[in-house]
């Protein structure tokens, strides 16, 4: 069993040099511990199922099973409770939206400054949603051009749903929200499902970005 003062991480990426650089970066933070690496999606899934890490860093464009297919397989495993953050070179709108809608807890670009990447990885380990700053406007634009999210103040949210939406906008995971409000995680999941439907959004990341941009 892992020391719970550390966050266990696995990296799934088909570029050995990038994995080495990422391992060195993770090694700079005592609270993070790299426990495994995989060079493709199939081996990454097997590794995740064996090691049960707290956080999975997943490349998008890989030979064989690509990152999106790997993400969907990982999310289909009900026994796997890891947070999954995409770590990729792709900043295209389609890739960002597809990954977040498939259940990614974040989307970071590989060309970030190392200290910025490490800071966001630490945020992810605390249950926060993380996305490279330059992608938030891209995602907001994609939402505006979609089927039309409803502004939070017009969606008919209950006071509890508004409270939860505010915490989602701050990047809180369901577990953190449950702890903050002293409610069961299952109860939070139900509230999140209802408020996303009312907002005409699919994911909590979309909700966080939409709320942030609605307040500007």
CATH number at 24 reads 3.40.50.2300
What's the rounded Cα separation, in Å, for the pair 69 and 18?
Answer: 21
Based on the fold, state whether residues 26 and 123 are members of the same structural domain. Answer: yes
57 forms beta bridges with: 11, 85
Query: Is 90 exceeded by the pLDDT of residue 136?
Result: no
How many distinct structural domains can be found in the chain? 2
Based on the fold, state whether residues 21 and 122 are members of the same structural domain. Answer: yes
Q: How confident is the model at residue 1 (pLDDT cuts 50, 70, 90)?
A: very low
Based on the fold, state whether residues 132 and 200 are members of the same structural domain. Answer: no
Q: Residue 159 domain-assigned?
A: yes
Q: Which of 87, 116, 141 is the last residue of a domain?
A: 141
Based on the fold, state whether residues 196 and 112 are members of the same structural domain. Answer: no
Query: Is 50 exceeded by the pLDDT of residue 40?
Result: yes
Query: What's the angle, vertex CA 117, arms to CA 46 and CA 164, rounded to 5?
Result: 80
Based on the fold, state whether residues 98 and 163 are members of the same structural domain. Answer: no
Based on the fold, state whether residues 120 and 35 are members of the same structural domain. Answer: yes
- Domain carrying residue 80: 7-141
Length of the chain: 216
Q: Which of 119, 141, 163 is the last residue of a domain?
A: 141
49 forms beta bridges with: none
More confident residue, 199 or 122: 122
Cα dihedral 64→65→68→72 (10° resolution): 170
Based on the fold, state whether residues 17 and 124 are members of the same structural domain. Answer: yes
DSSP assigned state of 216: -
Picking from 46, 152, 207, the residue whose alpha carbon sits closest to that of residue 56 is 46
Q: How confident is the model at residue 212 (pLDDT cuts 50, 70, 90)?
A: low
How many other CB atoms are there within 10 angstroms of residue 18's CB atom? 15
Q: Residue 2 domain-assigned?
A: no
Picking from 116, 72, 111, 76, the residue whose alpha carbon sits closest to that of residue 90 is 111
What's the rounded Cα separation, in Å, for the pair 84 and 43?
Answer: 16
Based on the fold, state whether residues 131 and 166 are members of the same structural domain. Answer: no
Mean pLDDT, range 70-75, rounded to an integer: 95
Query: What is the per-residue DSSP string for 9-48?
Result: EEEE-S-HHHHHHHHHHHTT-TTEEEEEEESSHHHHHHHH
Based on the fold, state whether residues 155 and 201 are members of the same structural domain. Answer: yes
Based on the fold, state whether residues 151 and 101 are members of the same structural domain. Answer: no
Q: Residue 1 domain-assigned?
A: no
Q: What is the CATH number of the domain that holds 166?
A: 1.10.10.10
Based on the fold, state whether residues 66 and 128 are members of the same structural domain. Answer: yes
List the single range of 24-28, 146-150, 161-165, 211-215 with lowest mean pLDDT.
146-150
Based on the fold, state whether residues 165 and 80 are members of the same structural domain. Answer: no
Q: What does the pLDDT read at residue 66?
A: 94
- Report pTM: 0.76
Query: What's the angle, vertex CA 117, arms to CA 2 and CA 67, rounded to 5?
Result: 75
Cβ–Cβ < 8 Å for 84, 71: yes
Mean pLDDT, range 133-154, rounded to an integer: 70
List the single range of 44-53, 107-116, 154-163, 204-213 with lowest mean pLDDT.
204-213
More confident residue, 149 or 117: 117
What phi and psi, each to the nearest 5 degrees, are found at residue 135?
Answer: -95, -15
Q: Which of 78, 112, 141 is the last residue of a domain?
A: 141
The CB-based long-range contact list for 187-192 (8 Å cut-off, 24+ gap) reads 188/164, 191/160, 191/161, 191/164, 192/164, 192/168
Cβ–Cβ < 8 Å for 207, 167: no
Q: What does the pLDDT read at residue 213?
A: 65
Q: Which tokens sit at 10? A: 């696995």
């Amino acid at each position: 069993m892992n020391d719970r003062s550390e966050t266990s991480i696995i990296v799934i990426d088909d570029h050995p040099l990038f994995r080495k650089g990422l391992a060195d970066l993770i090694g700079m933070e005592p609270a993070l511990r790299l426990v495994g690496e995989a060079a493709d999606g199939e081996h990454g899934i097997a590794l995740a199922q064996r090691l049960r890490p707290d956080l999975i860093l997943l490349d998008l464009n890989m030979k064989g099973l690509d990152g999106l297919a790997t993400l969907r397989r990982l999310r289909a495993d009900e026994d796997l409770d890891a947070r999954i953050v995409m770590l990729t070179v792709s900043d295209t709108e389609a890739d960002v939206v597809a990954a977040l809608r498939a259940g990614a807890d974040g989307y970071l670009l590989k060309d970030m400054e190392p200290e910025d990447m490490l800071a966001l990885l630490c945020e992810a380990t605390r249950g926060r949603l993380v996305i490279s700053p330059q992608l938030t406007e891209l995602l907001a634009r994609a939402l505006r051009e979609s089927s039309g999210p409803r502004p939070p103040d017009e969606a008919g949210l209950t006071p509890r749903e508004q409270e939860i939406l505010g915490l989602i906008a701050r990047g809180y995971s369901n577990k953190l929200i449950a702890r903050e409000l002293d409610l069961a995680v299952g109860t939070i999941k139900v509230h999140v499902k209802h408020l996303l439907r009312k907002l005409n959004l699919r994911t909590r990341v979309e909700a966080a970005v939409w709320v942030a941009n609605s307040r500007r």
